[in-house]
Amino acid sequence: MMMSENSLGTTTRRSFLGAASAATAAATLTGSPATEAQGASSGTANQTQLAQLNASPAASPEVPSHPGDWTKPAAMAIPKEGYFKLEQGRYGPIFPRTPANYGFTIIAKIKAGREPAVREYGKTIEKAVGETPNVLAPLRLHYLRWVIFDIGSDSYFMYQGIFDTDFDKYLEDAVALFLKTGITTVFVNLEGWPDDWKTNLPAVIKFFRDHQRPSFLEYGEYPYVTADEVKKALRVKSALSAMLDQMQ
């Protein structure tokens, strides 16, 4: 069947954009020593990357997974303690970076009658981000997930976050952010939260560590990739698309 010139041009453009975007994402996201070494011969490396990306999965060679290989999904089973080896950080044991990056799950009891205030605080964050999209940028977040659930007649709040800093750095940055913006933290509605949280960082971190529930499994579809790397790859893809639009 004959294909029109316009159809051929569109198909070629889409194919090239897909291959170029994938190749650029590989160059952007892969930080392994092998990739860095290939930089000296960029022409050959680019050709090799494109050939591998266009090959079928069955034809691709098996490459061992490692923190610099974002192309192979990875899972990590974690001991009950939340770490593999006891290493003391600034405020307690250091939790490992997983394929999903750093994160925690905080579960705490909501003070009697405060559940509506907790739910309303979700709207506060929505409004703050809507007015200033980068308001939470210092936390280097991938995502947050908040859940309220009941145990008997009591209500509990679950705070799940994935981010690119370590556990204690995230908490330090969070307190600094709340003090700077004047936004009162949702945790004031939880039992055990220190009243002097604005001036007592060790008490805040103790609260988080006391209420942390470590994961026993974490999975990453594109493991160990930071939020900044994801956004960088998407910006490159957008730029390539705009460039190819100009070539029509």
Same domain, 138 and 239: no
Same domain, 19 and 39: yes
Provide mean pLDDT across the span 20-27. 51
Q: Give residue 74's pLDDT.
A: 94
Structure tokens at 19: 């291959």
Same domain, 231 and 215: no
Q: Is the pLDDT of residue 7 over 70?
A: no
The band of 1, judged by pLDDT with boundaries at 50, 70 and 90, is very low
CA distances from 111 to 156, 193, 194, 247 (A): 9, 10, 13, 61
Q: Give residue 242's pLDDT.
A: 85
- Point out the least confidently predicted range of 22-36, 138-152, 163-177: 22-36
Distance in angstroms (rounded) separating the CA atoms of residues 125 and 120: 9
Q: Which residue has the tokens 């990875």?
A: 74
pTM of the full structure: 0.70
Same domain, 186 and 94: yes
- Point out the least confidently predicted range of 24-28, 83-87, 226-230: 24-28
Q: Give residue 65's pLDDT.
A: 45
Q: Is the pLDDT of residue 228 over 70?
A: yes
Q: Is the pLDDT of residue 100 over 70?
A: yes
User: 77-80 contacts: CB < 8 A, separation 24 or more?
Assistant: 77/216, 77/217, 78/214, 78/215, 78/216, 78/217, 78/218, 79/216, 80/214, 80/216
The more confident residue out of 3 and 186 is: 186
The band of 39, judged by pLDDT with boundaries at 50, 70 and 90, is very low
Q: Give residue 48's pLDDT.
A: 36
Provide mean pLDDT across the span 191-214. 94
The more confident residue out of 19 and 209 is: 209
Q: Is the pLDDT of residue 33 over 80?
A: no
Same domain, 95 and 208: yes
Provide mean pLDDT across the span 118-144. 94
Question: What range defines the domain where residue 48 resides?
Answer: 5-67+227-246
Same domain, 170 and 232: no
Quote the longest CA-to-CA distance of the chain: 75
Distance in angstroms (rounded) separating the CA atoms of residues 60 and 65: 14
Same domain, 44 and 151: no
What whole-number percentage of the chain has pLDDT above 70? 73
Same domain, 216 and 238: no
Q: Is the pLDDT of residue 106 over 70?
A: yes
Q: What is the mean pLDDT of the chain?
A: 79
Same domain, 56 and 96: no
Same domain, 167 and 236: no
Same domain, 61 and 84: no
Question: What's the domain count of the chain?
Answer: 2
Same domain, 174 and 194: yes
